[in-house]
Amino acid sequence: MATLGNPQNTIAVLQKYKFNFQKKFGQNFLIDTHVLEKIISAAGVREEDFVLEIGPGIGTMTQYLCEHAREVAAVEIDKNLIPILQDTLSIYGNVQIIQQDILKMDINRLVQEKNQGKSIKVVANLPYYITTPIIMGLFESHVPIESITIMVQKEVADRMQVGPGTKDYGALSLAVQYYAKPEIVAHVPPNCFMPRPKVGSAVIRLTKHKQPPVQVVQERQMFALIRASFNQRRKTLVNGLNNAPDIFYSKEEIVQALEEMGLPPNVRGETLTLEQFARLSNLLGMTHTE
Ligand code: SAM
């Protein structure tokens, strides 16, 4: 089986198996060897690594991963791709093809069984329709992870990287930055994929923090505050929190906490840093919880 990372070989495989692209699965296969090499090098895959690939497609990037890593687990939802993967990856003894929905998979168990619970690397050209749940699922389920190197929609990569004062800043920026250090490593135009996506793409590496950069007593509460403040962007933080069904502090309590932080009562959530959300959560946590 020839290496896949170019249009001719990809077309040959697709024709051999009469494969039909499924839009609902966000299928845009990479057909550019430079981009593939860039992803592998940005991920820093080494021969001792266990790598989880989400959505291997026809196995284009998987081949590269198998060449560089100790072991690869490739999780693909589309049943029709499994026989193709078995063919394109047949020469590799270090890959496990798993037919599963990544959002329903117990990744912690996989890491226990395959890597003795030690940190793994995640590398993927993600299906764009579920980028956020995949990333948040990996972080919130506390899977032992060293880094996540992924192709995502360009706007989503921007959102993960920015700080307060920009239009892209939001709940995703804060969540990602709480768990990891984000770095955009490449911009990738639509012509590097088959079929071409309608949007630009970017490769972003999220290097997991060993310790969160801020001290927060109730992580869940901080994220509830963050979600509530960005759900109603045009409202002040106090009104946003007051209207949220899962936040039970009174306006007075919120205003008092803001005052202690040196912030005015009409401050907007989008101007607060991660440190300030952590402080607000800690201060409110001391007033009372319901
Ligand atoms: N890695 C391949 C490449 O770069 O050419 C394919 C990338 S394509 C953007 C996304 C892949 O994720 C598709 O193969 C799609 O079938 C798969 N996928 C979509 N939803 C999934 C899910 N919930 N769980 C696992 N794989 C999924």
Instruction: Give the closest residue (by CA) to ligand 1 atom 8.
Output: 27
pLDDT of residue 3: 77
pLDDT at 289 over 60: no
Residues in the chain: 290
Instruction: Give the closest residue (by CA) to ligand 1 atom 1.
Output: 56
Instruction: Report the pLDDT averaged over residues 154-181.
Output: 95
Query: Of the residues 66, 76, 138, 198, which should be mutated to test ligand 1's pocket, given the most ligand atoms within 8 Å of the CB?
Result: 76
CA of 22 to the centre of ligand 1 (A): 10
Instruction: Give the closest residue (by CA) to ligand 1 atom 19.
Output: 25
pLDDT at 287 over 90: no
pLDDT of residue 2: 60
pLDDT tens, position by position, 200-209: 999 999 999 9
Instruction: Give the closest residue (by CA) to ligand 1 atom 23.
Output: 101
pLDDT of residue 59: 98
CA of 26 to the centre of ligand 1 (A): 7
Q: Is the dihedral of CA 164, 166, 171, 175 positive or negative?
A: negative
pLDDT tens, position by position, 237-274: 999 999 898 899 999 999 999 999 999 999 999 999 99
pLDDT at 93 over 90: yes
Instruction: Report the pLDDT averaged over residues 122-129.
Output: 96
Rounded to two decimals, the pTM is 0.94
Q: Whole-number mean pLDDT of the chain?
A: 95
The vertex-172 CA angle with 227 and 268, nearest 5°, equals: 50
Dihedral pair phi/psi, residue 211, rounded to 5°: -125, 145
CA of 214 to the centre of ligand 1 (A): 34
Q: Are 17 and 64 in contact (CB under 8 A)?
A: no
Instruction: Give the closest residue (by CA) to ligand 1 atom 18.
Output: 55
Q: Tokens at residue 15, please?
A: 């024709």
Instruction: Give the closest residue (by CA) to ligand 1 atom 5.
Output: 29
Q: Are 239 and 290 in contact (CB under 8 A)?
A: no
Instruction: Report the pLDDT averaged over residues 74-78.
Output: 98
CA of 76 to the centre of ligand 1 (A): 6
Instruction: Give the closest residue (by CA) to ligand 1 atom 12.
Output: 55
Around Cβ 120, how many Cβ atoms within 10 Å?
Answer: 25
pLDDT at 158 over 70: yes
Atom of ligand 1 at shortest range from CA of 124: 1
pLDDT of residue 288: 54
pLDDT of residue 176: 97
Q: Tokens at residue 142, please?
A: 């506390």
pLDDT of residue 47: 96
Percent of the chain having pLDDT more than 90?
A: 90
Instruction: Report the pLDDT averaged over residues 96-113.
Output: 97
Query: Quick one: 62 exposed, middle or buried, by C-beta within 10 A (0-12, 13-18, 19+)?
Result: buried
217, amino acid identity = V
CA of 169 to the centre of ligand 1 (A): 27
pLDDT of residue 218: 93
Pocket-forming residues, ligand 1, beta carbon under 6 Å: 25-30, 54-57, 60-61, 75-78, 81, 101-103, 125, 127, 130
Atom of ligand 1 at shortest range from CA of 134: 23
Atom of ligand 1 at shortest range from CA of 25: 19
Instruction: Report the pLDDT averaged over residues 175-189.
Output: 98
Q: Distance (Å, rounded) from C-alpha 170 to C-alpha 166?
A: 9
Contacts of 15 (CB under 8 A, 6+ apart): none
pLDDT of residue 1: 54
Atom of ligand 1 at shortest range from CA of 101: 24
